[in-house]
Structure 1
């Protein structure tokens, strides 16, 4: 066994332990899951809950040896824990077809499976390039790192400025199929076809073409490039794999063909990135810059053609308008009122535009959004229709529903608001719901599990790469000092909440472990969650609908934004707080008490009423705790054993700790009643 560190610009830095067994291919699911899935946590429990709908009892590391030395039931419990550690990854491999997909990727790219797991994207393209060059009797140069111009750069894809609005008419989406691979084939962009400026005079006028970026390549009539040949074969093989997949009746055969077509798709899309990777094996900026330049040209040409043809003057119902465009797609408003009217127009427009461009560049009609909420560049949401009968789903891009650097409260709130606006068409209902969420947050009624933020630990505080102190890295260091054995490792995602330590305290000092905050009764910084987590998403969503001024005046201000602070005296606050004495308060009117009783003199007459209310509170908490305890027992598979699980990815865990603490405090308050006279 050896510790391996993986680092790349795309995936960041992570540490793993590699086990070598001769004759066996080690297939580690954790790094594969980190690369392919966008999750808030990559613990086995979190991943299993997301894809399998089940979890395992997460036994704390410190009590494993106690269970081993315990009774037969304890050892059986430990055995089940170990079995699930092996069983759940197998279920995940089967569910997500990773083994089939990676085997097919290895076959397509010609590299060992462990290369695909342990190395980045470039090795796949480089391997295909080597094989093709060998067949063509070409030599691939080895470029030393000093020749790689790390300061070089080029202009990337373009974005057509969005016309922000809430569209209550269908918006058709037209997409270029495999845009960059198609451009490289259509315009013969390759290392072997790139012409040096001094060699242009040696070619006939029809033997070369100048790209929009100013680079010159010979045409395919003169010489076919290696990269276009690779892409042609890969995309043709993908079409065959998709055809075979659709024809297959055996589930295993269908899974294999699906894995193959996905591998071929990824391989084709990786070729452009390989040429544009400045710190790479064979960077070639003229190829990459020409590809993106052609892409920008195609996008603007598409907009011009659609808006030129589809007009009232040409006999159409309305003048078409491109409301947004990004890299390889355009969003078109044809001015019709129904989805069934927009779809034929979109299909016709896709075919008309495709005929303008050289093969194999093709514009396809994919979907219609109706209604459609366009908030900003790369931020939109709408009901997605592929058939006129019924919408497929609520689709969103760039919003907090799909971003994992926001707490769960934001994601759930944004999703609920979008459902009310887009599905129910109930804007007043969405506003009312939002006000209730804001009120609950500022009144400390939100469960802490909804306020947890996660971020990946890519560097430690010992590394001087961070120019500004980061909240999660500083917390990781504090957790390491508290308990080095349970501290997060490099590459893991850290869960934290922002606690209230005063406005003057920097953010990196406010990050805290959620369990530690619960156990020590540390208050949450509600202002941070309101201003830094909720405010921006709400402004983006509601601005196109009701206007920014109304969002600020009605939604983010008002009676529902009144804050209820819950100051808590912390035992280790330091300074003068070490000499402070905590006084008990009357359970009736909350006035300070000098003694240890339950009520002040003014509330003694209401002793029976206050006692009854306190007893009712204890009963409610006991009932809630029993329900949570039973849920955890059902999950662990036993209704007769204590709950040991400490899974921080489970919302029930946080609720159980919170209710258990509240119950203890409520019972302590109840015990303050020395005698009750009825």
Structure 2
């Protein structure tokens, strides 16, 4: 039988180590294959003087007298062997590579593996000072970086299994002589086979895997962000804010009156009878209301003293919040502590899609509101609606749905950060709740894997469990948040948001922004039409596009415009509804929008961008509570829309084939690619080569204490300027760091740290023949105040390292493979395989298979760069700081080689000396002279073509005459014009080939430019973009200044729409110091003047800076009594939040906008950074517009 592997896991079953392979056979039937016969193992280094008999009879018994319980002593491989060391270059007196003695310890199961590892560490630690010669020799034979003579004890046995079988863990295998097991515990075909009957086969096809994308929708009792389990923190916060408002109304309350106010607040909080009810969010309890008497600790003078002081200091405020929370949580009802009701899950949407075909299924599971509406949810076209009566039934129905549909991949957007955790917390609360007869077994949430939890199964071993992984436990700290998920055996779980964050640097990772960024197409033409329907005039726009991707009728799109000042959303991002799609023609409704066709066609380029039909949190909560069946149907469409967007992103970005390619390249299971960092992937590829080269990797001691450092990638000092006449060529090294490692043979086992051997080579004048000598600046990290600072180590400022040279067929020629170190071998294999895969990709006619190959070649490149990264990572299994430091040192040297080589090439060609204006990590920016060899000065297109030619020829010259194999300096691109502001900040029009110049095909490219920042108002992008455009097109600073002066004058005189000055920020539910958060102060002010429209947590608040009145700036009741300001009013303390207002409020109340603020605080700095590049610039243009 042929099986494509989906996932691999391991278990100890009846004291035997079992590998379970999940996959699909060639008939697309799900299979679980249990493989027996593999034994976990690691190595124990012992002195070369030890015999095998001594190791077995004495050493291992001293370590643990019952070691036979763990170790398979009958296994033929349980014996003493000789291997090379991965750390440092070791030779004997004849300069032959030295080998060391290792015991290969083979275990019955993984439990024994871990137990024996622990026993060895204990034995080593307890005997460090033992004087017995035999024991002492064991302690002494340990490498200083190694943990207790253990080698490869941190490589998961699963990785060993993959290496031993030489299988690709996301590809196809063939099995023979298998046994079929008929067991009700399994929901799929279950097989058992011995290790020897599993073989790899070549097959590039991907099975019709089923993807399930899900999303949950929750209610909220108060309209704030939903919480599955609630504590008393928010009520405590509400109490403090409510009390603060009361104190502002009247500041002469007595202590007794203040206590009475607190009583009223607390009684109102719990909706208890009180003479003076206070407007505060009520607490909804899952228990009865509390019994509160006059002795309650919040009704005291000491508490009044605490709450009166809490506004003075955020620590006092935090203490007050904790005190109130603790006091409220102690309240009881009928001798039972009260409990706040959590916000329920009200809908779960799931979209199922089969990979490789068009089969799709949409399912929404819905419950009614607390009033138990009879009309739960209307029918929805294209969506199966499952109606449930309560939350328990909803969760059970979703579990049943997953088990019936049996998907291979479970995904969604932010499911690891929110959805899984919320489901778990709701089940926990429902399990502990006795109300509404909802109590049920919380373990029901775990029955989501391919093994049925309701039966006792010998292969079931805590596979389906809720897991919470905290950031400090996540390998490489590569996750942005803590992860929570329900582990489901046989299903791969991944988060679309995490996958996009891994490989893209976006301004926003909200699903709406992400879908708009990726799901887009070009608008080629526009036709405006007018219709009359039921005496109503309808206006539509027909867009001819190059692709419709996954667009559907009733989707929403925005129009992205491209002009010479950059990219902007049309009409501030208004969303247009699609009413028809025919072939590549999209019809959108513009009836309520004033769309100017001629204006649109004047832009350089137009794109449509898919957007969500967003439902605000407040609207969602209201639709559930008060919208009836149609309202809940609207929520359902919104929920399914999010699920389907995730599916579309997965398909568009080839997330599955790309990660399967990475799995096969790194020889790790697919779930490792999604759930773990770079470390395990590099460990796998390196240990595989070590096995081939009979080399053992030490299990490293904790390196986190190492405070030494080294210099990172070089950045050449830029020569900032406005390069209007001179094109700038960019030369780039292909895989600079991996190539540097191969070139100089940098690897832990080629590093010579034996001083006697180095001295011997020096004495014999052989050092330069035998070793590559590399120096780097040696840094240390010290604590200065509260921050760490990297400084040069005074005792040893320069570190010199020696690496054994590789052997080449001829000078700078091809390296003889046998002479290469392990890390260079790993990297060369990866880069060679990438080249081969790219060749196959070019010849592959099938688009689907081409995508698979593209994912594979990308995986080779990423893995190669990860190997270098892991050498410098303290948590890595191959951490060797000296190797990483020397790699960056070689890289810096090659940037200098490029700078020197370009000048050398120009001299040989008898051209004027080129200028290196910038260098960054692995590339150099070059201004070649436009003066040709015959004295002609080129301009415009001729200059660009000439620069491209110079770039290509100089790159080829440097590669051939200065660099050593495998270094390759390639021509990459040419900028014309180009503005270099500072390090990592530039903008220019990019051309790649001479053909691009002929076709006028260029792309405006920028890095680190102010228009990328989200906290800037649109006016900044408008002014800055036009300044850049004027400089590049007009090439006249005086005209640019003239335009700027006129524009600033127009801004100051209010000639720009208010939309240019709007900034939006998201409101959080809690701030440690809310008075310092401008939009939080504004939100509170909105709530005071309009309680019904108080912004909720999660809302985005638009605001504009307003001009403050005299009364707002000065306190006319407090005058200076002496000095030069005597008799004049004192300035008020004005918060940032007092300086901003809602745009609608500003318009309706004729409030003046503070244009001076925008000019001085947002526009001036970025614009001046560009203008100051020209010596003729005079700063005066801004000063007259700043108050």
| Contact preservation (8 Å) 1:169, 1:370 | yes
Pair member with larger Rg: 2
In structure 1, stretches of 5+ residues that fail to align are 464-468, 564-678
| Contact preservation (8 Å) 1:369, 1:384 | yes
Q: What's the CA shift for 1:511?
A: 9.9
> Hey, what does 1:331 align to over in structure 2?
925
Q: What's the CA shift for 1:277?
A: 2.3
Q: What's the CA shift for 1:186?
A: 0.2
Q: What's the CA shift for 1:274?
A: 1.3
The correspondence of residues 230-269 of structure 1 with structure 2, limited to 5 A, is 230-269=826-865
Q: What's the CA shift for 1:513?
A: 10
Specify the SS of the correspondent of 1:21: coil
Q: Distance in 2 between matches of 1:275 and 1:477?
A: 49
| Contact preservation (8 Å) 1:192, 1:226 | yes
> Hey, what does 2:497 align to over in structure 1?
30
The correspondence of residues 599-618 of structure 1 with structure 2, limited to 5 A, is none
Specify the SS of the correspondent of 1:169: coil
Q: What's the CA shift for 1:189?
A: 0.6
Of Structure 1 and Structure 2, the greater helix share is in 1
| Contact preservation (8 Å) 2:1082, 2:1141 | no
> Hey, what does 1:399 align to over in structure 2?
1009
Q: Which has the higher contact order (CA 8 A, sep 6+)?
A: 1
Specify the SS of the correspondent of 2:647: helix
| 2:763 counterpart of 1:153 | no
Q: Distance in 1 between matches of 2:837 and 2:1094?
A: 50
Specify the SS of the correspondent of 1:318: coil
Specify the SS of the correspondent of 2:775: coil
Q: Distance in 2 between matches of 1:11 and 1:437?
A: 45
| Contact preservation (8 Å) 1:125, 1:271 | yes
Q: What's the CA shift for 1:180?
A: 0.6
In structure 2, stretches of 5+ residues that fail to align are 1-419, 422-467, 520-608, 777-799, 808-817, 931-937, 1114-1130
| Contact preservation (8 Å) 2:731, 2:923 | yes
> Hey, what does 2:774 align to over in structure 1?
211
Q: Distance in 2 between matches of 1:386 and 1:451?
A: 38
| 2:955 counterpart of 1:350 | yes
Q: What's the CA shift for 1:242?
A: 1.6
Of Structure 1 and Structure 2, the greater strand share is in 2
| Contact preservation (8 Å) 1:148, 1:283 | no
User: What are the superposed Cα offsets for residues 441-491 of structure 1, whole Å, 9 maximum, x if unpaired?
Assistant: 55664545864366999x99669xxxxx98599889989x99999635xxx
Q: TM-score, normalised by structure 2?
A: 0.42
| 2:676 counterpart of 1:119 | yes
Q: Distance in 2 between matches of 1:250 and 1:164?
A: 47
The farther-off stretch of 36-45 and 257-266 is 36-45
Q: What's the CA shift for 1:97?
A: 1.8
Q: TM-score, normalised by structure 1?
A: 0.70
Specify the SS of the correspondent of 1:172: strand
Q: What's the CA shift for 1:310?
A: 1.1
| Contact preservation (8 Å) 1:471, 1:511 | no
Q: Distance in 1 between matches of 2:918 and 2:634?
A: 57
Q: What's the CA shift for 1:5?
A: 4.4
Judged with a 3 Å threshold, the aligned counterparts in structure 2 of structure 1 residues 39 and 232 are, in CA distance, closer, same or farther, namely same
> Hey, what does 1:106 align to over in structure 2?
663
> Hey, what does 1:609 align to over in structure 2?
none
| Contact preservation (8 Å) 2:1156, 2:1186 | no
> Hey, what does 1:200 align to over in structure 2?
758
Judged with a 3 Å threshold, the aligned counterparts in structure 2 of structure 1 residues 546 and 505 are, in CA distance, closer, same or farther, namely farther
| 2:975 counterpart of 1:369 | yes
| 2:806 counterpart of 1:220 | yes
| Contact preservation (8 Å) 1:319, 1:335 | yes
| 2:987 counterpart of 1:381 | yes
| Contact preservation (8 Å) 1:497, 1:511 | no
Q: Distance in 2 between matches of 1:239 and 1:75?
A: 53
Judged with a 3 Å threshold, the aligned counterparts in structure 2 of structure 1 residues 539 and 144 are, in CA distance, closer, same or farther, namely same
Q: Distance in 1 between matches of 2:1101 and 2:1168?
A: 26
Match of 1:292 among 884, 888, 903: 888
Match of 2:719 among 121, 141, 163: 163
Q: What's the CA shift for 1:424?
A: 5.9
| Contact preservation (8 Å) 2:1083, 2:1094 | no
> Hey, what does 2:123 align to over in structure 1?
none
Judged with a 3 Å threshold, the aligned counterparts in structure 2 of structure 1 residues 226 and 478 are, in CA distance, closer, same or farther, namely farther
> Hey, what does 2:288 align to over in structure 1?
none
Judged with a 3 Å threshold, the aligned counterparts in structure 2 of structure 1 residues 220 and 155 are, in CA distance, closer, same or farther, namely same
Match of 2:693 among 136, 154, 160: 136
Judged with a 3 Å threshold, the aligned counterparts in structure 2 of structure 1 residues 119 and 515 are, in CA distance, closer, same or farther, namely farther
Q: What's the CA shift for 1:538?
A: 0.6
| Contact preservation (8 Å) 2:1082, 2:1140 | no
| Contact preservation (8 Å) 1:39, 1:404 | no
Judged with a 3 Å threshold, the aligned counterparts in structure 2 of structure 1 residues 485 and 394 are, in CA distance, closer, same or farther, namely closer
User: What are the superposed Cα offsets for residues 122-179 of structure 1, whole Å, 9 maximum, x if unpaired?
Assistant: 332223222222332322222232x344411101122222222222112211111111
Q: Distance in 2 between matches of 1:304 and 1:123?
A: 40
